[in-house]
Copies of this chain bind each other. A is one copy, B any other.
Amino acid sequence: MNKGAQTRAAILDHAVAIAGVHGLAGMSIARLAGVTGMSKSGLFGHFGSKAALQRAVLETAAEQLARSVLGPAQREPTGEARLRSLFSRWLAWIDADERPGGCPLLFASIELAERPGELRDFLVDHQEIWIDRIRQMCQKAVAEGNFREGLDTRQFAFEFHGIGLGFNFARRFLADSRALTHANTALDRLIAAAS
């Protein structure tokens, strides 16, 4: 890896963390330069614009999510087991200490919900794909007989997603120690109703 690419990756690691705390808009180049030990202009040169930096942050976060949540889950056996694996890895990703603010993509989605533009489009695409992945896994569980025939898989994905959002809120904002138990219980109930 080039020196440039190397530096760029290091910058983005810090940037994801900052964006998780202060949001994409609150992630200023001066602050980012401070924590990376670079000059503003030196850092800026890697991206060319603030928007490009924000875009790179979202792409980095999406890659990290794919690598540490979706990827491992897809190596599990299909059906209910894979769904459960995805769920627990997703919660762990949200709760990870090294990434303050929980899931940066969730934060950015709320932040940009009413602000049309390239960044928002990227996020909508990502989140729609994410929810559809859940639906597909659910569909697979139906096909394999884990879940009952005729199950509304879209409804399942909606509720699955809602539990994750509730966990993100309870854990990161309210610092509720019971959040994990509640989320797991909710998933058990969801799966039981689907079986």
Q: A residues engaging B (CB < 8 A)?
A: 20-23, 25-26, 100-102, 106-107, 109-111, 113-115, 123-124, 127-128, 131, 152, 154-155, 158-159, 161-163, 165-167, 169-170, 172-174, 178-179, 182-183, 185-186, 189, 193
A159 touching B169, Cβ below 8 Å: no
Contacts A114-B100, A158-B182, A186-B158 known; A124 to B163 CB distance under 8 Å?
A: no
- Report the 6 A-B pairs with minimum CB-CB distance, sorted nearest first: A162-B166, A165-B165, A158-B182, A162-B162, A113-B173, A21-B114
Closest to A159 in B: B186
Assembled-state Cα–Cα distance A100/B161 (Å): 23
A178 touching B154, Cβ below 8 Å: yes
Given A127-B169, A154-B182, A158-B170, 6 other A-B residues pairs in contact with their CB atoms under 8 A: A106-B110, A123-B173, A155-B186, A158-B166, A159-B166, A189-B193
Closest to A128 in B: B174
Number of copies of this chain in the oligomer? 2
- Chain B residues, Cβ within 8 Å of A170: 158, 161
Q: Which of B25, B124, B159, B166 contacts A161 (CB 8 A)?
A: B166
- Chain B residues, Cβ within 8 Å of A110: 106-107, 110-111, 169, 173
Closest to A21 in B: B114
Closest to A111 in B: B23
A-B contact pairs, 16 of them (CB 8 A): A21-B115, A25-B25, A100-B114, A101-B114, A106-B110, A109-B173, A111-B111, A123-B173, A154-B182, A155-B186, A159-B189, A161-B166, A162-B167, A165-B165, A165-B166, A189-B193
A113 touching B127, Cβ below 8 Å: no
A20 touching B100, Cβ below 8 Å: no
